[in-house]
Chain A
Amino acid sequence: AQSVTQPDIHITVSEGASLELRCNYSYGATPYLFWYVQSPGQGLQLLLKYFSGDTLVQGIKGFEAEFKRSQSSFNLRKPSVHWSDAAEYFCAVGAETMDSNYQLIWGAGTKLIIKP
């Protein structure tokens, strides 16, 4: 069955430090991969997506993610975090179901805390 694992429930990073949020997935075919961000009290906003091609994808707000097929991973990175990056981050896999429907399979989310 398809699944998405975000192993870190919380991550604390100092402002200006680099960030990597982990995401592992289980899916039989080449997946569509997404990272979304949710600021407190807000909806989910798409940060970036991978469908095919270059395995390093650039997103909004200075984020990037790398698709590694051999590791079934799609980790999110940012070289230098800002206090405004404090939010919850969700990884998702787009999967076609057995009845030809399309669903996003979601990770549990990682809450990013920024230390001043």
Chain B
Amino acid sequence: DSGVTQTPKHLITATGQRVTLRCSPRSGDLSVYWYQQSLDQGLQFLIQYYNGEERAKGNILERFSAQQFPDLHSELNLSSLELGDSALYFCASSGGLGELFFGEGSRLTVL
């Protein structure tokens, strides 16, 4: 158990819809990272938050947004969903210069 919790584990929705994925980092970790993993794109870094502030952006679409709340949990919002957004979405947390601890992921299926 990494200590990182992601909900929901599975989500099925239709094109055009909006979903929110939630992540609770390990206790005390200030950094939260979001990744997308699909079969054809591999592991893609989306966005990082540190103590409530956006810290780095990767290949995140404009239809996607994220935030980190004062209690350090984070949410990834995906809107106007397309078939190609079907993927595993991972959250990871870190306490500083070291390893990332990953949640088990949220599997999104867009029909």
Residue of A nearest to B90 (CB): A43
**How many A residues face the partner with a CB closer than 8 A?**
22
In the bound complex, do residue A43 and residue B45 qualify as a contact, i.e. CB atoms below 8 Å apart?
Answer: no
State A32–B2 Cα separation when bound (angstroms): 20
**How many B residues face the partner with a CB closer than 8 A?**
25
Q: Please encode chain B, from 1 to 27, with 1 for each CB lying within 8 Å of some chain A CB and 0 for all others.
A: 010100000000000000000000000
| Residue B102 at the chain A interface, CB threshold 8 Å | yes
User: A32: which of B45, B55, B97, B104 is its contact (CB, 8 Å)?
Assistant: B97
| Residue B111 at the chain A interface, CB threshold 8 Å | no
In the bound complex, do residue A90 and residue B105 qualify as a contact, i.e. CB atoms below 8 Å apart?
Answer: no
In the bound complex, do residue B99 and residue A43 qualify as a contact, i.e. CB atoms below 8 Å apart?
Answer: no
Which DSSP category, helix, strand, loop or mixed, fits chain A's interface? Answer: strand
Q: Please encode chain B, from 36 to 58, with 1 for each CB lying within 8 Å of some chain A CB and 0 for all others.
A: 00000011010010100001100
In the bound complex, do residue B100 and residue A104 qualify as a contact, i.e. CB atoms below 8 Å apart?
Answer: yes
Interface residues of chain A, those whose CB is within 8 Å of chain B, are: 32, 34, 36, 41-46, 49, 51, 90, 94, 96-97, 101-104, 106, 108-109
What would 16 more interface pairs be, CB under 8 Å, given A36-B102, A101-B48, A102-B97?
A32-B98, A42-B105, A43-B90, A43-B102, A44-B90, A44-B100, A44-B102, A49-B98, A49-B99, A96-B97, A101-B56, A102-B96, A103-B45, A103-B48, A106-B45, A109-B43
